[in-house]
Amino acid sequence: IDVSHGADAVVGRAGMQTMRDLAGKSVAVEGGALGAFVLARALALAGMQPDDVKVVHLESNEQPAAFSKGLVDAAVTFDPYRTQLLRAGGQTLFDSTRIPGEIVDLIAVRKPGPAARPRARA
């Protein structure tokens, strides 16, 4: 079990300081549920609605290039992509320290799983 404590973030362009600066702007979000969840929570805490931003569906590895080219104004991301966005001049507008305990990673396996498949353990 792992709990995100700042690892998931929304990074915006230089000069942006809060989520409210994203009103009407484009935000890259990966295809999975986590990106949508982080964006929804960040917007809600800022008193905003999902339709206040333009969502651009991009996988995490595509976000830094799109950000650098000016195709998106922000991204919902995590490392190593977060670091790349920050190096490109981005600013952290929100991170998961604001929603403690809400993002949890968990791996569950059936007891006979790994033992029954010794090659799968490697």
pLDDT digits (tens, 9 = 90+) for 24-54: 999 999 988 889 999 999 999 999 999 999 9
Helices marked H in the chain: 33-45, 63-68, 81-87, 112-116
Instruction: Give the pLDDT of residue 68.
Output: 95
pLDDT digits (tens, 9 = 90+) for 78-110: 999 999 999 999 999 998 878 777 677 777 777
pTM (two decimals): 0.82
Q: pLDDT band at 114, cuts 50/70/90?
A: low
